[in-house]
Amino acid sequence: MPGLVREVLVAAGDAVSAGDRLAVLEAMKMEHALRAPRDGTVAEVLAAAGSQVEAGAALIRLEEEA
Protein backbone atom coordinates (compact mmCIF):
# COMPACT_ATOMS: atom_id res chain seq x y z
CA MET A 1 0.00 0.00 0.00
CA PRO A 2 1.22 3.56 -0.54
CA GLY A 3 2.54 5.35 2.51
CA LEU A 4 5.05 7.61 4.19
CA VAL A 5 8.48 6.36 5.20
CA ARG A 6 8.64 7.40 8.86
CA GLU A 7 12.05 5.98 9.72
CA VAL A 8 14.89 4.08 8.06
CA LEU A 9 16.78 2.00 10.61
CA VAL A 10 19.63 0.63 8.46
CA ALA A 11 22.29 1.92 6.08
CA ALA A 12 24.15 0.36 3.16
CA GLY A 13 26.70 -2.14 4.44
CA ASP A 14 24.77 -3.05 7.59
CA ALA A 15 24.47 -6.76 8.38
CA VAL A 16 20.89 -7.82 9.18
CA SER A 17 19.26 -11.00 10.41
CA ALA A 18 15.89 -12.37 9.35
CA GLY A 19 13.18 -10.47 11.23
CA ASP A 20 15.26 -7.36 11.98
CA ARG A 21 13.38 -4.07 11.57
CA LEU A 22 14.63 -2.21 8.51
CA ALA A 23 12.19 0.69 8.27
CA VAL A 24 8.85 1.99 9.53
CA LEU A 25 6.13 2.87 7.02
CA GLU A 26 3.00 4.85 7.93
CA ALA A 27 -0.08 3.91 5.92
CA MET A 28 -3.77 4.33 6.71
CA LYS A 29 -2.86 6.06 10.00
CA MET A 30 -1.00 2.96 11.20
CA GLU A 31 2.72 2.26 11.47
CA HIS A 32 4.04 -0.89 9.83
CA ALA A 33 7.51 -2.29 10.56
CA LEU A 34 9.30 -3.58 7.47
CA ARG A 35 11.44 -6.55 8.46
CA ALA A 36 14.32 -8.37 6.82
CA PRO A 37 13.06 -11.48 5.01
CA ARG A 38 16.43 -13.23 5.48
CA ASP A 39 19.93 -12.79 6.84
CA GLY A 40 22.12 -10.60 4.68
CA THR A 41 23.82 -7.27 4.10
CA VAL A 42 22.03 -4.09 3.07
CA ALA A 43 23.20 -3.29 -0.47
CA GLU A 44 21.20 -0.11 -0.97
CA VAL A 45 18.64 2.08 0.77
CA LEU A 46 16.23 3.34 -1.90
CA ALA A 47 13.91 5.54 0.19
CA ALA A 48 14.62 8.24 2.76
CA ALA A 49 12.67 9.07 5.90
CA GLY A 50 9.90 11.52 5.06
CA SER A 51 9.42 10.34 1.49
CA GLN A 52 6.08 9.22 0.09
CA VAL A 53 6.21 5.82 -1.62
CA GLU A 54 3.83 3.96 -3.90
CA ALA A 55 2.46 0.48 -3.31
CA GLY A 56 5.02 -2.19 -4.19
CA ALA A 57 7.99 0.21 -4.31
CA ALA A 58 11.36 -1.24 -3.31
CA LEU A 59 12.66 0.56 -0.21
CA ILE A 60 15.73 -1.44 0.77
CA ARG A 61 17.74 -3.90 -1.28
CA LEU A 62 19.73 -6.74 0.28
CA GLU A 63 22.82 -8.14 -1.42
CA GLU A 64 22.28 -11.31 -3.43
CA GLU A 65 22.83 -14.55 -1.53
CA ALA A 66 26.08 -16.35 -2.30
Q: Sketch the domain layout of the chain as residue ranges.
A: 3-62
Q: What is the pTM of this model?
A: 0.88
| Closest C-alpha to 57, from 49, 65, 46 | 46
Class of the CATH domain delimited by 3-62: mainly beta
Amino acid in the structure at residue 51: S
pLDDT recorded at residue 64: 83
65 — pLDDT class (breaks 50, 70, 90): confident
Q: What is the pLDDT of residues 6-42, one digit of tens each?
A: 999 999 999 999 999 999 999 999 999 999 999 999 9
CB 47 within 8 A of CB 57: yes
Instruction: Give residue 23's Cα distance to chain centre.
Output: 4
